[in-house]
Amino acid sequence: MSYITSLIAFPAIAINQMQSGRGLKKISFEAYQNLGAALDEMNSPTDEQAALIKLTMEGKRYKAPERWEQERLINLYKAKLKLEEVMELLGE
């Protein structure tokens, strides 16, 4: 097989491998539902939590020990955003 032929063939091989379940592949519907259930369990921030998240994202920080809980809240919020992004990407 020539170099040019192999350059043309490898994309088709890669796609075929994914479609046949080898290497990187889509997750099962059940796994997708579990991600959705995790998102549901996380719920949405209250108005007060949303205000604190906004202040935190603007760089305002409390002093310890309140700062630790503030960081936990912002990290949880960021995780929720990432999980929503993952759901969107996997749902396409």
Going by C-alpha positions, the residue among 26, 28, 36, 30 that lies closest to residue 80 is 36
> What is the chain's pLDDT, residue by residue, as a tens digit (92 residues)?
566 666 678 888 999 999 998 999 889 999 999 999 999 999 999 999 999 999 999 999 999 999 999 999 999 999 999 999 999 999 87
pTM for the model: 0.79
SS3 at position 27: coil
Tokens representing residue 41 in the block: 């369990």
